[in-house]
């Protein structure tokens, strides 16, 4: 066990040498700040790492991960990440990425008491309840499981769009755009669920419109006058 742990530090040294060999100023640039275009909200599963599957390097993605890639508005961790990414980093895209074979979604489909995990899993069970007719019509259990993974991503995208900071920034800047993806562990492919962000925003604003503030409306009017 200690050998495996110490291997991490050996790998770190090799990584430093590799980066400095490619660019002598790599760490100076890395320490100077971050300006990522992407916020990635994914699952904590150890097999699904954002940078690796997207083929990008340090500083290019702002990342938040939790069990089953949930965006629960009562969870200060995810909401704080979104607030910071949109308001301060001014990311252009927010990606919610689930993955087939997700243990969190599988647990939520199982009628079992998971103790302290129950409140978290309830968010996924709520997704099942919202789409129960469609899901119950799928007789193949594996296909039903995969479909719930996709629908969970969709609902978490909607939860992102519900947030005032996202709505306000989009009205003022026409970004961020919210995307829903699923990563297929068996093929390595990213599957774009083609979430219709603008339609979702338009539909939910009938109930969740949080942009009618003096600050937002005055900024919007100023932008329209310039145009």
Binding residue per annotation — 64?
A: no
Binding residue per annotation — 99?
A: yes
Active-site residues, by number, are 43, 45, 47, 99, 102
Binding residue per annotation — 43?
A: yes
Q: Tell me how far the alpha carbon of residue 43 is from its chain's centroid.
A: 8
Binding residue per annotation — 45?
A: yes
Residue with tokens 């997704």: 127
**What are the start-end ranges of the H helices in 23-49?**
26-31
Distance (Å, whole) CA 141 – CA 10: 44
Distance (Å, whole) CA 63 – CA 183: 16
Among the listed residues 131, 205, 128, 135, the one whose alpha carbon sits nearest the alpha carbon of residue 170: 205
∠ CA 22-8-52, rounded to 5°: 55
- Binding-site residues for Zn(2+): 43, 45, 99, 102
- Binding-site residues: 43, 45, 99, 102
């Amino acid at each position: 066990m200690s050998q495996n742990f110490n291997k991490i530090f050996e790998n770190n040294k090799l990584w430093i040498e590799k980066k400095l060999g490619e660019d002598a100023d790599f760490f100076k640039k890395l320490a100077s700040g971050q300006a990522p275009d992407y916020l990635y909200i994914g699952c904590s599963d150890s097999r699904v790492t954002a940078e690796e599957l997207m083929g990008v390097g340090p500083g290019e993605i702002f990342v938040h991960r939790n069990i089953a890639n949930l965006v629960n508005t009562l969870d200060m961790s995810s909401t704080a990440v979104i607030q910071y990414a949109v308001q301060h980093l001014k990311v252009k895209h927010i990606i919610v990425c689930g993955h087939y074979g997700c243990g969190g979604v599988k647990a939520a489909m199982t009628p079992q008491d998971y103790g302290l995990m129950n409140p978290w899993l309830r968010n996924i069970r709520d997704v099942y309840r919202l789409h129960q007719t469609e899901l119950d019509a799928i007789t193949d259990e594996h296909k039903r499981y995969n479909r719930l993974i996709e629908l969970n991503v969709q609902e978490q995208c909607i939860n992102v769009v519900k947030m005032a900071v996202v709505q306000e920034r989009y009205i003022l800047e026409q970004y961020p755009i919210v995307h829903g993806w699923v990563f297929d562990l068996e093929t390595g492919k990213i599957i774009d669920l083609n979430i219709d962000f603008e339609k979702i925003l338009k539909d939910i604003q009938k109930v969740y419109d949080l942009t009618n503030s003096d600050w937002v409306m005055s900024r919007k009017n100023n932008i329209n006058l310039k145009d």
